């Protein structure tokens, strides 16, 4: 551990303790409507922050569905899935991605990274798009394959005609799409660059 980190450790512990403190909020019924009750502004060294840890589904614990409906796991084992896109033939594309690494050179960067990891967003992204195919409609995909790989923090996906558009963090790409194919091997065509860099406040 560096001397800088040793000096920061006690201060960080104190800031985190302050983050857990806070007054009870006003009753929910007073917080909406035409004239909600707003709390007076307060100054903090670090605003009160409470982040619920991510919890996966258990063997029998699933979201409660409406009457006559059922919720089941469709697929698991992804590397930080962020968005889902359904193709016209019913194939489901899962975009596995996370933000590009951000520079850490200020105290607030350490705190931001801590809270991001606490919320589960620090996991590495797959930088790929996975295809799932449930041909018989039983809610369990019979086919799972990597549809596109070696992307750079992808997020948005859209099919326009026979062209599949993928938005990486730094460029909009276009790929030829053939209905029913399970992998795109053709190289990407760059449509345009997108603003990105080491300081990227909203990589999506």
Residue where the block lists tokens 């857990």: 20
pLDDT at 3 over 70: no
Task: Output the six-digit token pair for 150.
Answer: 């070696």
In a domain, 13, yes or no: no
In a domain, 39, yes or no: no
pLDDT at 80 over 60: yes
Model pLDDT, residue 52: 77
Between residues 66 and 103, the one the model is more confident about? 66
Domain count, the chain: 1
pLDDT at 68 over 70: yes
Model pLDDT, residue 162: 96
Model pLDDT, residue 40: 84
Between residues 126 and 176, the one the model is more confident about? 176
pLDDT at 143 over 70: yes
Angle (nearest 5°) at CA 98 between 123 and 166: 150
In a domain, 86, yes or no: yes
**Stretch 111-128: mean pLDDT, rounded?**
73
In a domain, 129, yes or no: yes
Q: Among residues 184, 7, 3, 12, which one has the least CA distance to residue 109?
A: 12
Between residues 29 and 160, the one the model is more confident about? 160
In a domain, 88, yes or no: yes
Alpha helix stretches (DSSP H) within the chain: 3-19, 107-118
In a domain, 50, yes or no: no
Task: Output the six-digit token pair for 100.
Answer: 């590009």
What is the pLDDT of the chain when averaged over all its residues? 81
Query: Does the predicted model carry a pTM greater than 0.85?
Result: no
- CA–CA distances in Å: residue 120 to residues 52, 54, 61, 134, 191: 10, 6, 20, 29, 32
pLDDT at 67 over 90: yes
Which residue range(s) make up the domain with 185? 79-103+124-194
In a domain, 21, yes or no: no
Between residues 69 and 21, the one the model is more confident about? 69
Task: Read off the pLDDT of residues 13-65 as tens digits, 9 standing for 90 and up.
Answer: 444 444 444 456 678 888 888 888 887 888 887 777 777 777 777 667 788 88
In a domain, 138, yes or no: yes
Model pLDDT, residue 166: 97
């Amino acid at each position: 551990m560096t001397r800088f980190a040793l000096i920061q450790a006690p201060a960080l512990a104190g800031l985190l303790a302050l983050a857990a403190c806070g007054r009870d909020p006003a009753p929910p019924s007073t917080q909406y409507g035409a004239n909600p009750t707003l709390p007076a502004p307060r100054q903090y060294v670090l605003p009160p922050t409470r982040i619920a840890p991510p919890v996966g589904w258990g063997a029998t614990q699933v979201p409660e569905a409406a009457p006559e409906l059922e919720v089941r796991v469709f697929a698991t084992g992804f590397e930080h899935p962020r968005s889902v896109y359904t193709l016209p033939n019913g194939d489901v594309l899962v975009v596995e991605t996370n933000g590009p690494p951000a520079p850490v050179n200020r105290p607030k960067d350490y705190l931001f990274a801590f809270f991001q990891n606490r919320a589960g967003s620090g996991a590495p992204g797959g930088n790929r798009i996975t295809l799932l195919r449930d041909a018989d409609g039983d809610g369990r995909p019979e086919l799972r394959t990597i549809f596109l790989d070696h992307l750079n923090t992808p997020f948005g996906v859209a099919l326009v005609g026979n062209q599949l558009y993928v938005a990486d963090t730094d460029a909009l790409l276009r790929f030829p799409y053939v209905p029913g194919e399970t992998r795109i091997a053709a190289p990407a065509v760059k449509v345009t660059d997108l603003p990105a860099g080491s300081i990227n406040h909203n990589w999506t």
